[in-house]
Chains A and B, each alone.
Chain A
Amino acid sequence: MALIETHQLTKRYPGGVTALDSLTLTVEPGIIGLVGANGAGKSTLLKILLGLLEPTSGTAVVLDLDAQRAGSRIRALVGYMPEHDCLPPDVSATEFVTHMGEMAGLPRSASRERTADVLRHVGLYEERYRPISGYSTGMKQRVKLAQALVHDPRLLLLDEPTNGLDPAGREEMLNLIRRIGHEFGIATIVASHLLGEIERVGTQLLAIDAGHLLRSAPVASFTERTGILSVEVEDGADALAAALTAAGLAARLDGRTVLVEARDEQPYDLVRDSVVDLGLALVRLEQRRGSLEDLFSDEAPVTDAA
């Protein structure tokens, strides 16, 4: 069973902004990274999947339920963590998450129990009895995640879950998401504008741009594709590029760095030897990580077999 299927999904806002343009995609269970620049249509897609927004045309099916007709039934099975702040300041995390559990249909006593469980899982301890107004951004993000988990959803929609977090907090949040997907076994969609984050937690990648599907592929297959070496030298990048091209490698200049296609081990040796031969100062030699720009500079949308 597909987790999510959309067909020709289009959303135009009044005023002429097209957030989604004939988006057709199929998503299998797992941890799915939904990547796109700000304004690419990520939040709009999540809201349509929740049945909160009506699409202008097209259909969306979530967990075998039609998003437009069975929005209420979908929402009962889905946990949603919005991008923006959504917590009342004057109640405690325990009180608030318990309340949200009840909103999801749990009896009060069951909701209390689940709240204690999920707050422990997201890493909120003594502070959970204090009013939320005193929490740090990291703690607030945890409460937002906890309220999405309290009713043990079958699908979790996380919109920019690392927003506003410092590097350590970011790391912890990503670990948490990985645990939720793998250990808790809850299908998770993570919307983010940071491809690096998705690479680290996701099993599948959906890239959208200006409401179009750019690529849908397993994360592993995507990172394989960027078999590109990035070589940064102090001076003489152009000489190095020329030398490598002469040696039969596909090399091109990008500012002070030389980008070399490296499908196997051999180019590493050639780069090393060329740098020594030319007497250049090597600053950095690294396997280039896939970046959003690479993804978006591709001419035509490519859909690899998932």
Chain B
Amino acid sequence: MPPDAGHAAAPGQAGASEIYDIGYRGYDGLRLGRVHATWALFVASVRQAFGLGRPARAKIAPWGLAAIAIIPAAVALAIVASAGPNFSPFSYDDYIWQMQAVFGIFVAAQAPELVGGDQRHRVLALYFSHAMERVDYVIAKLGAIVGALVIVMGAPMLVLFIGRILTAGDLAGAIGDELGSLPQVIGSPLLHAVGVGALSLAIAAFTPRRAYATGAIIALFIVGQGLSQAVSRLSSGFLRDFGPMVNPFVWLDGTRDWLLGGTVSESPVARSDLSLSTYGLVTLVVVVVSIGLLIWRYRRIST
């Protein structure tokens, strides 16, 4: 009998090698419902997005990309510390815009990870044979990809924020200055995470094939980025205003500008005649449609 197959004998019988099987025990404890299961799936999925509890190779992409996203913030701090605050290469307003390719690759790698495997390995049959409803699964996975993106997008912003306070000569004054930026520091990652996460997850959920999902999301963000810059610079009128929106970061940047202020000069938003609220409307529509597609997909999927 293997060593852990039973409980050891009572302490008084130290030395006695007798091991006995205590038999099957029922469970009379707490049984929590759907909300608990959904929360547990959310937590497990955020861990999955960072490869926690999984082999090392599952950690390479998320941690590597998170590090790449943070390094420029750290470098910026070093420049600020030596050359003064006016020489900062990044602001809170444009950090996510500047690093959009990194976040695009992160979500292309990790959104299919969160939903593809459950379809590929048919784990969904187990999830749906428990108390949770199908919409609960969507809520948990959506929450997880948004949560993971908030962490990855928010971490460099936080590094920038804390760093700028600590490197300032006048600590109290710096806290006062930087506190005004807090809505941008918190709001910008949250807004981008919701938009990027919902859209990417909706794409990823439609195929169990990881390569297809990752390819489609990469194409959206990377090709979209190049295309939007070209269209924005080379065309005019309607095409110049709406064409760049093939890149999700364009309507998200416009929405950020609308809600939190701070125009990014490199963004097509700066060259467009559209009112900022239009970007907000596009963001709202895309997020609602993405969530609707996810719910529709998981209602129909057979297990």
Name A's B-contacting residues (CB within 8 A): 50, 52, 72-73, 75-76, 78, 80, 82, 84-92, 95, 99-100, 102-108, 110, 114, 117, 120-121, 125-126, 131, 147, 151-152, 179, 183-184
User: Given A106-B32, A107-B36, are A84 and B125 also a contact pair (CB < 8 Å)?
Assistant: yes
Binds A, one of B22-30, B77-85, B92-100, B203-211: B22-30
User: Given A80-B126, A125-B4, are A183 and B23 also a contact pair (CB < 8 Å)?
Assistant: yes
Name the contact of A104 in the complex, choosing from B44, B117, B130 (C-beta under 8 A).
Answer: B130
Binds A, one of B53-61, B152-160, B235-243, B270-278: B53-61
- The CA-CA distance from A92 to B58 in the complex, in Å, is 14
Instruction: Contact check, B133 vs A72: say whether CB atoms are below 8 A apart.
Output: yes
CB-based nearest B residue for A116: B4
- Total contacts A-B at CB 8 Å: 111
Chain B residues with a Cβ closer than 8 Å to the other chain, count? 38
Q: Which residues of A contact B30 (CB under 8 A)?
A: 105-107, 110
B54 to chain A, nearest CB (A): 5
User: Given A88-B118, A152-B26, A184-B24, are A105 and B126 also a contact pair (CB < 8 Å)?
Assistant: no
Instruction: Contact check, A87 vs B54: say whether CB atoms are below 8 A apart.
Output: no
A60 to chain B, nearest CB (A): 15
Name the contact of B129 in the complex, choosing from A50, A92, A120 (C-beta under 8 A).
Answer: A50
A19 to chain B, nearest CB (A): 13
Most chain A CB atoms below 10 A, which of B27, B44, B123:
B27
Instruction: Contact check, B53 vs A95: say whether CB atoms are below 8 A apart.
Output: yes
The 8 closest A-B pairs by CB, nearest first: A152-B27, A102-B40, A80-B129, A184-B24, A76-B131, A103-B130, A125-B2, A105-B31
- The reply on B33 being an interface residue by CB < 8 A is yes
CB-based nearest A residue for B132: A103
CB-based nearest B residue for A53: B302
- The reply on B193 being an interface residue by CB < 8 A is no
Please encode chain B, from 141 to 179, with 1 for each CB lying within 8 Å of some chain A CB and 0 for all others.
000000000000000000000000000000000000000
**12 other contacts beyond A84-B122, A114-B27, A152-B26, with CB at 8 A cut-off?**
A85-B122, A86-B122, A86-B125, A86-B126, A92-B53, A100-B126, A102-B44, A106-B29, A107-B32, A121-B24, A131-B54, A131-B55
- The reply on B41 being an interface residue by CB < 8 A is yes
- The CA-CA distance from A104 to B55 in the complex, in Å, is 26
- The reply on B128 being an interface residue by CB < 8 A is yes
- The CA-CA distance from A78 to B23 in the complex, in Å, is 21
User: Given A99-B44, A105-B37, are A88 and B131 also a contact pair (CB < 8 Å)?
Assistant: no
Q: Which residues of B contact A76 (CB under 8 A)?
A: 31, 33, 130-131
- The reply on B34 being an interface residue by CB < 8 A is yes
B171 to chain A, nearest CB (A): 41
Instruction: Contact check, A183 vs B24: say whether CB atoms are below 8 A apart.
Output: yes
CB-based nearest A residue for B131: A76
User: Given A88-B121, A90-B54, A120-B5, are A105 and B27 also a contact pair (CB < 8 Å)?
Assistant: no
